[in-house]
Amino acid sequence: MSAGTLRFGVQLSLKPPHEQFDLVRRIEALGFDSVWSGDHVSFHNPMYESLTLLAGYVPITSRLRLGTAVYLLALRPPAIAAKITSTLDVLSGGRLIFGVGVGGENPKEFELCGVPHAERGARVSEAIDVVRTLWRDTPATFKGRFTNFEGVSIDPKPVQKPGPPIWIGGRSDAALARAGRQGDGWVSYVVQPERYAQSLDKIRSAAAAAGRKLEGFAAAHLAFVTVGRDYESAKAVWAEALTKRYAQNFEPLARKYGIIGTPEQCVEAIERFRAAGCNYVILNPIGPATQEREQVERLAAEVVPRLARG
């Protein structure tokens, strides 16, 4: 599914395995480009481990790209992350999009994994280089602040060459600079279109300073979306579900950050991101898990085709 330059993925919440797999099959049948998983080791709500979950989708899909939005790379040793992602890319025939981020809103998770919270940004920046080195080189050598090795190889290598695309998540200036210096793409969340456009400018500046060209760069947005019969009823569902998910009040944030309301209103909201430079929308249906399938069907039938017509 593309709309001019727009592509569409879907990010799902946790459901019992048979329901999860059934909905992923449906997402592929509906023509979406990708399916996504969020990532935490420990969180307010139950969550499957992201790369394990995506591996479960491999045999039940043939075309969908499989993405993490976003994998908290600082919580894992980078060599282990490189090994798992290489395997997943091979098993899927080269369908992985490796979205990575710093995280940190849940410091307990860093304590649990034995990683100093204050080092998370530096660890992610270095780990991206470690992972790419191990994907690419036989034998590989790396000398860094947190990771050092000489003459080792991780095999089999990923199907995608020189490796799966790495999309950088985040809103901070540090994340935007990282996306410009190191990313094959950027994925935002909880930003408005104006800030989205400004953020892309910062990414371009960081890329130029690093001597990088951003050809084929994915400018993605994780969109919290609720389609309803009208704005107010959809907003109530959206605010209640996200307040529960993040354990903070999302009611005042709805007008700023929600893709909410009738299909027409959702289309208008997404068009504002397209105008700001977005070329990839990851639709995250917000509401009770029991209504997620209905939301996916409505997005496929009533929202995406209107964007495809431009």
d(CA 82, CA 74) in angstroms, rounded, equals 13
pTM: 0.96
Residue 197: partners with Cβ closer than 8 Å, 6 or more residues away: 276, 277
SS (H, E, C) 4-73: CCEEEEEECCCCCHHHHHHHHHHHHHCCCCEEEECCCCCCCCCCCCHHHHHHHHHHHCCCCEEEECCEEH
Q: Which helix (H) or strand (E) holds 3?
A: strand 2-3
Instruction: Quick: pLDDT tens for 250-295.
Output: 999 999 999 999 999 999 999 999 999 999 999 999 999 899 999 9
In the chain, what are the domains?
2-308 (3.20.20.30)
Instruction: Quick: pLDDT tens for 117-143.
Output: 999 999 999 999 999 999 999 999 999
d(CA 101, CA 123) in angstroms, rounded, equals 11
**Low-confidence residues in the chain, pLDDT < 70:** 1-4, 310
- Would you report the helix, strand and coil content of the chain in percent, each value rounded to 5? 50, 20, 30
